[in-house]
Amino acid sequence: MDKKELRKVLKISYNEKELEMLRFWKQNEIFKKSVEERPKNKPYIFYDGPPFATGLPQHGNILSIVTKDVFPRYWTMKGHRCERRWGWDCHGLPIESVCEKLLNLKQKNEIYEMGVGEFNEFCRSKVLWYANEWKKTVDRMGKWIEFDNSYKTMDNTYMETVWYIFKKIYTDGLIYKGKKVLFYCPRCETPLSNFEISMDNSYKDITEQSLTAKFELKEELGTFLLAWTTTPWTLIGNVALAVNSKQLYVKIKLNGEYLILIKSKIDAIDEEYEIIKEFKGKELINKEYEPLYKISTSSDKKGYYVIDGGDEVLSDEGTGIIHIALYGEFDYEMIDKYDLPVIQHIDEHGNLAKGPIDWIGLWFKDVDEEVLEDLNHRNLLFKSEDYTHSYPFCYRCDTPLIYNALDAWFINIQQIKPRLLETNKNINWYPKEISKRYQKIIETAPDWCISRNRFWATAMPIWECEDCKDVRVIGSVKELQENAIEEVPDELDLHRHIVDKIHIKCPSCGKVMNRISEVFDCWLESGSMPYAAKHYPFENMEWFQKNFPSDFVSEYIAQVRAWFYYMHVISILLFDDIPFKNVVVNGNLLGDDGTKMSKSKGNFPDPNLIIEKYGADALRIYLMSSQLMRAQDLIFKEEIVKQVYRRFNLLLINVLKFYSMIEIDNITMNIPNENILDRWIVASLNNTIREITQRMDDYDTTEASRILFNFVEDLSTWYIKNSRNRFKSENRQIKLSAMNTLSYVLYNLSKILAPLTPFISEIIYQKLRNRGLVNFSSVHLEFWPDFDEKFIDTEVLNNMEKAKEVVKRSLELRDNAKIPVRQVLEEVTLKGTNLKKNFLDIIAEVINVKRITVEGEEDSELIVELNTKITPELKLEGIARNLIRNLNNYRKQLNLSTKIRIILYLKTDDIEITEALEKHKDKIKKMIQADEIIQNLEGIQEIKKIKIENKLVETHIQVKN
Ligand SMILES: [Zn+2]
Ligand SMILES: [Zn+2]
């Protein structure tokens, strides 16, 4: 079998090992036991943020799955009862747009034509489309959670709690109906919140034609105000022009016309002009101008004059004169402030509704070109040029968004802001710096628009009288039953196509009340998760009291202003308290080109293949050790997963193989003994337990993983490697004390590995169980270990670090002199250290020298001098060792255990090898367990050739009976 094949087998068998653990956990119901064996009065409360099942789970989801598994496992081992229940986000635009595509619906009115009921039922049928794929990934990653008994945001019970919460906030006077300028998708026909847009990074750089239009002053014909815009279509709805009254403006003469603009932008005029006068913007205020387009409105409000826009009118952008239409945040503020006419010239589908008759019905973006041509034709265009800027697009359907003033329902965030800010101090953010960022998010938060003009979500429980316009809010199914005109079943589905059929008699005038058409923003639903998942307060009142707030939540960074924020808002509104105490924030996993992972770009490997190749543990600890856990972004690199697999998983597997090979009974895990390596590994382990406990308590998996990596490396490449002789010793006491120590180390290691890498941890634990050394059926029923201060011998730890440093430098010196380690050397001289004999013995063994001389000068820095002279004697000794190594490999190939004695047959023509053989015969015989060495191969058929110093030696091993 060549190396490549061998590796392949190794990989398959590793994957197979993990699958075996999964079967073991399932068959023995270890998850269930791990929860139920902990006391009910010592809970660790965890909310698993519900994902959508509308796509396959990707790397980012896996990151979140793992983070949310590590801490519940840790706190369970610390003695807490941590119940975990899966949930699904079922509502909102993500699922609606998937269904629209499947049904080939292009416009909102096509949903009405199809029937809202039919559309909603279709959504319901597709919501859990990929739930099974998720289950597979969740299972395979070793995440423990009650999956089948999941809650769904579309459950009647869930939605009823959302009604209850809304009514409570409404009754407290913190809900209002208002007009707000919001980003609006004319295709989805719904407003989108700013954060939804920034969350998915929906801004794109686009190049458009911007233009500078000329507005003629009424009182001064031939004099024009210059205003610049990137959205020519909005000029049709222009109602005013804003200047900054404090800035300097100029009137210039150019081609026989008079033009007015801000003085600071005069350099942008590249034609010849003459300055007529200079004046403060104040002088322009209230001057009337001719509108570019005359729109008939029913309103008698005054428009088409110059207003003071204050400092928002910047001196370095455009012309210092801003054209005001309905379609901007600042614009709307001005319209409100100056009581300007409201002209909505674009309809809800994004088509022109008011304006030049020939253009009615055009898509708003197509109007740009018409306006440009028209103004040019009418000599009202001063200039047009390409302009590149960042513009928001709908994150679902990629339609350019527009600002739109809409009727909507809001939660008054301003009112509760002081409490949000104050209680943020009680939330522990990991990493800590997120707290500041979150504070800024709260400080700048607008009121929360909770209504959506869509279909598949919880219906808003507001009924409005068709006559007197009185409003009534309903907070439960029971309340609806008591007030409805129609018969209402107990199990009422709270989606709009069902609830819309129910009417209420108006308490004020006795006429019929209809439900308003809006549904809830699905963030109101996600934010209600702590209560709605348990149908609080309709059920589980007592349970809730003991299980709120949560100890721990985790999500990626974009959720700071989303799920975390909304949960916080609702919890303040309901209980004036925080909903969670500890928050772990992940960064984003990026594709190999440093951009968002995207299927179409193919910039990331299939997660299933990664798991198959390297196992779930390697992927888990790769993610947990990375900067992702410090809320920083990370480019996914398969190469690093592979390294982790080799340097962590395979090292551990090899330690275990070694451990399993040693045969001895009556192991006790009694520690420590006098051996310096044993004392050191025990000290190191206890120190590791101390440090990792601190880090895990602090939700810092990056540092916790690093500590584990270091310990595993120490265990494998220092402790085991330098203790081999003792493990193979024929002295039972020596062998047993080494095995006691290793068993003790593996036992504790399996426990501290358990939260981060549950598979390898269990594999180790089961090996100990096979030897009858442990009490539980699974490591995941164990308790987190305490460190023992008395074992942490800092002197031993420090001295071993020095010894390792000496070894490192000596090996470098060997490397420089190009002398392989197997060539024994005479002497190494150390200065600046006072290492005792037991450490020097280890060093001598590892670097293969006969003698170590320590020369005083304790306080000086460490100096290592290696005598690299190879005397003829050393040469012969090197050859002898080389022979021993090769012959022992030969024994291994023949599967000979150390107890089996042999006769060695050997033949060589080389003088040096013959000499080495003569001189070190006794040693060679002892080391290869040979009773006799015969330097003759006559009559022997089966010959094994070995290479010593580039010379061939023919050998044969005969087993002695
Ligand atoms: Zn859209
Ligand atoms: Zn009424």
Of all ligands present, the nearest one to the C-alpha of 510 is 2
Worst-scoring range by mean pLDDT, 315-319, 478-482, 529-533?
315-319
Task: Return the structure tokens found at 191.
Answer: 């407003």
Angle of helix 758-770 relative to helix 651-661, nearest 10 degrees, comes to 0
Give the model's pLDDT for residue 655. 96
Torsion of CA 812, 816, 821, 822, to 10 degrees: -170
pLDDT tens across 413-456, in order? 999 999 999 999 999 999 999 999 999 999 989 899 999 989 99
Radius of gyration of the chain (CA): 39
The distance in angstroms from the start CA to the end CA of the chain is 31
Q: Which of 511, 599, 836, 951 is catalytic?
A: 599
What is the rounded (10 degree) CA torsion for 89, 92, 95, 97?
Answer: -160
User: Residue 855 has what pLDDT?
Assistant: 86
Given 50, 94, 549, 579, which residue is catalytic?
Answer: 50
Lowest mean pLDDT among 302-316, 762-776, 806-820: 302-316
What was the pLDDT predicted at 437?
A: 96
Phi first, then psi: what are they for 956, rounded to 5°? Answer: -155, 135
Ligand 1 centroid from CA 399, angstroms: 6
pLDDT confidence bin for 10, thresholds 50/70/90 = low
Measured from the Cβ of residue 510, the count of other Cβ atoms closer than 10 Å reads: 10
Are the C-beta atoms of 242 and 322 separated by less than 8 Å?
Answer: yes
The residue that leads in pLDDT, 506 or 318, is 506
* Stretch among 50-59, 67-76, 437-446, 815-824 having the lowest mean pLDDT: 50-59
The tally of CA atoms less than 13 A away on the side-chain side of residue 335 is: 21
Q: Exposed, middle or buried: residue 121 (CB in 10 Å: 0-12, 13-18, 19+)?
A: middle
- Given a cut of 70, whether residue 867 has pLDDT beyond it is yes
What CA–CA distance (Å, rounded) separates 56 from 59?
Answer: 10
Ligand 2 centre and the CA of 505: distance in Å?
8
Neighbouring CB atoms inside 10 A of 493's CB total 17
C-alpha 194 – ligand 1 centre gap (Å): 14
Average pLDDT over residues 457-484: 96
Q: What percent of the chain has pLDDT over 90?
A: 74
Report the separation in Å between the CA atom of 486 and the middle of ligand 2, taken as the mean of its atom positions. 18
Question: Would you state the pLDDT for residue 899?
Answer: 83
* Ligand of minimum distance to the alpha carbon of 469: 2
How do 175-185 and 146-152 pair as beta strands? unpaired
**Known catalytic membership, residue 599:** yes
Judged against a pLDDT cut of 60, whether residue 152 lies above it is answered with yes
Cα of 507 to ligand 2 centre, how many Å? 7
Q: Rounded CA gap, 324 and 235, in Å? A: 8
Lowest pLDDT segment from 167-181, 772-786, 846-860: 846-860
Catalytic residue among 48, 69, 89, 551: 89
Running DSSP on this structure, what letter comes out for residue 699? T
Q: Please count the other Cβ atoms lying within 10 Å of the Cβ belonging to residue 638.
A: 16
Note residues around ion ligand 1 (Cβ under 5 angstroms): 185, 187-188, 394, 396-397, 399
Q: Assess whether pLDDT exceeds 80 at residue 2.
A: no
pLDDT at 950: 84
Q: Is 23 left (phi over 0), alpha (psi -120 to 50) or beta?
A: alpha
Contacts of 229 (CB under 8 A, 6+ apart): 210, 211, 212, 213, 235, 323
H-run or E-run covering 257: strand 257-262
Rounded distance between C-alpha atoms, residue 388 and residue 897, angstroms: 77
Instruction: Please compute the mean of the pLDDT values over residues 870-889 and round it to a whole number.
Output: 91
Per-residue confidence (pLDDT) for residue 628, from 0 to 100? 96
Please state the rounded mean pLDDT for residues 91-96. Answer: 88
Residue 665 half-sphere exposure, CB side, CA atoms within 13 Å?
0
Ligand 1 geometric centre to CA of 234 (Å)? 20
Rounded CA separation 416/578 (Å): 13
Calpha distance 249→281 (Å, rounded): 6
Q: Tell me the pLDDT tens digit for each residue of 203-226.
A: 888 888 899 999 999 999 899 999
Residue found under tokens 């593996």: 746
Distance CA 638, CA 752 (A): 26
What does the pLDDT read at residue 270? 85
- CA diameter of the chain: 125
Is 89 an annotated catalytic residue?
A: yes
Amino acid at 526: S
**Does residue 143 surpass a pLDDT of 80?**
yes
| Nearest listed ligand to the Cα of residue 508 | 2
Say what the pLDDT of residue 247 is: 93
Kindly name the residue from 180, 596, 875, 923 that is annotated as catalytic.
596
pLDDT above 70 (res 4) = no
- Dihedral through CA 614, CA 615, CA 618, CA 621, nearest 10? 150
Closest-lying ligand to the alpha carbon of 186?
1
Beta strand ranges found along 568-633 (DSSP E): 580-586, 589-590
Q: Are strands 248-254 and 257-262 parallel, antiparallel or unpaired?
A: antiparallel
pLDDT band at 1 (very low <50, low <70, confident <90, very high): very low
Q: Which of 32-36, 94-98, 329-333, 725-729 has the lowest mean pLDDT?
A: 329-333
pLDDT tens digits, 105-126: 987 889 999 999 999 999 999 9
Q: Out of 126, 368, 534, 559, which one is annotated catalytic?
A: 559
CB 227 within 8 A of CB 212: yes
Over range 535-540, report the average pLDDT: 96
Instruction: Give the strand order in the sheet containing 863-866.
Output: 849-855, 825-831, 863-866
Output the pLDDT for position 812: 95
- Nearest in space to 705 (alpha carbons), one of 44, 77, 18, 70: 70
Peptide bond into 549 cis (omega under 30): yes
Cα 943–Cα 947–Cα 953 angle in degrees, nearest 5: 45
Q: Which ligand is nearest to the CA of 465?
A: 2
Is residue 815 annotated as part of the catalytic site, yes or no? no
Is 563 among the residues known to form the active site?
yes
Full 3-state SS string of 26-94: HHCCHHHHHHHCCCCCCECCECCCCCECCCCCCHHHHHHHHHHHHHHHHHHHCCCECCCEEEEECCCHH
Q: Average pLDDT, stretch 809-819?
A: 94
Transcribe 445-506 into DSSP letters: ---EE-EES-SSSBBP-EEEETTT--EEE--SHHHHHHHBSS---TT---BHHHHTT--EE-
Q: How far is the CA of 512 from the centre of ligand 2 (A)?
A: 7
- pLDDT tens column, 561-585: 999 999 999 999 999 999 999 999 9
Average pLDDT, the chain: 92
DSSP structure class, residue 908? -
Q: Examine the residue annotation and report whether 129 is marked as an active-site residue of this protein.
A: no
Catalytically annotated residue among 359, 448, 563, 784: 563
pLDDT score at 898: 77
pLDDT tens-digit readout, 882-913: 999 999 999 988 988 878 899 999 999 899 99
Structure tokens at 268: 């942008």
CA atoms of 898 and 728, how far apart (whole Å):
8
598 Cα–ligand 1 center, Å: 19
pLDDT of residue 12: 57
In the reported structure, the alpha carbon of residue 501 is separated from the centroid of ligand 1 by a whole-number distance in angstroms of 28
Pick from 408, 432, 438, 405: nearest CA to 420 = 438
CB count in 10 Å sphere of residue 123: 25
Q: What is the rounded average pLDDT of the residues 269-278?
A: 91
pLDDT higher than threshold 70 for residue 3: no
Q: What are phi and psi of 674, to 5 degrees?
A: -80, -20
For the whole model, what pTM was predicted? Answer: 0.83
Structure confidence at residue 199 as a pLDDT band (50, 70, 90): low
For residues 488 and 480, what is the distance between their CA atoms, to the nearest angstrom?
7
User: Given this model, what pLDDT does residue 201 score?
Assistant: 65
Residue whose C-alpha is closest to residue 231's, from 106, 95, 391, 376: 391
205 alpha carbon – ligand 1 mean position (Å): 18
- Split at pLDDT 50, 70, 90, the class of 949 is confident
Looking at residue 204, its pLDDT comes to 86
Six token digits for residue 795: 């002197």
Q: What is the mean pLDDT of residues 822-832?
A: 90
The average pLDDT across 684-696 equals 98
Question: Does residue 50 have an active-site annotation?
Answer: yes
Cα(134)–Cα(56) distance, integer angstroms: 7
